[in-house]
Amino acid sequence: MRIAVKIIILLISLILQLTLAPYIAIGGIVPNIFLMALISVSLYSKNYEAPVYGLVFGSIYDFYSGSVWGLGAILCMYISYLCSQIFSKIYRESIVVFCLLGGVFGFMFELVFSLLTITLWEKANFLISLKFIGFQTIYNVILIIPIGMVVNRLILITQKKGVR
């Protein structure tokens, strides 16, 4: 059941990312709802579960977002694996941890994605991309607070009921 809850959370976040996120953009900066939900779900996933979530849902995200297929999937897989490794060693219920790791991994995701896109296809200027990445990181850190709270609450509810 906990796996089903995690899958539902990721599906909802993916749908919100692809439909709602462009409409809540501030100054052209679109928040990454899906990545913040993936980081939050990775917190409560086992070390072997988290990369599977990242790879599967990252592939779906790549397919529907129109970006290079596989690039986001690989990045999501590595980020979710690193999150599950780091989160297994620290206190999970701290909102500071959510914000810190959401900011760090959100920045890493956007930086690597931008660098690879610029290097391979030369579609943008790196300095302009870096400015947007910084603002997007701030937006994502603000966004991970409610997402992390919802994921935390849902996972705790399933744990209290003894649902597996």
Q: Answer whether residue 20 is part of any domain.
A: no
Domain that holds residue 85: 2-11+33-150
Distance of CA 132 to the CA centre of its chain: 17
Work out the average pLDDT over 108-132: 77
Q: Answer whether residue 161 is part of any domain.
A: no
Q: Answer whether residue 19 is part of any domain.
A: no
Residue 124 pLDDT grade (very low, low, confident, very high; cuts 50, 70, 90): low
Work out the average pLDDT over 135-142: 90
Work out the average pLDDT over 2-27: 91
* End-to-end CA gap in the chain: 5
User: What mean pLDDT value characterizes the chain?
Assistant: 85
Integer-rounded Cα radius of gyration of the chain: 15
Least Cα distance to 101 among 49, 60, 42, 45 occurs for 42
Q: Tell me the pTM.
A: 0.87
Task: Please indicate whether residue 20 or residue 2 has the higher confidence score (pLDDT).
Answer: 20
Work out the average pLDDT over 150-159: 84
Question: Within the chain, where are the H helices?
Answer: 2-19, 33-43, 50-65, 71-87, 95-121, 126-160
Q: Looking at the 3D structure of the chain, how many domains does it have? A: 1
**Chain segment 41-89, per-residue pLDDT in tens:** 988 888 889 999 999 999 998 888 777 778 889 999 999 999 888 877 7
Q: Answer whether residue 67 is part of any domain.
A: yes
Task: Please indicate whether residue 164 or residue 157 has the higher confidence score (pLDDT).
Answer: 157
| The Cα angle at residue 139 between residues 133 and 143, in degrees rounded to 5 | 135
pLDDT of residue 50: 92
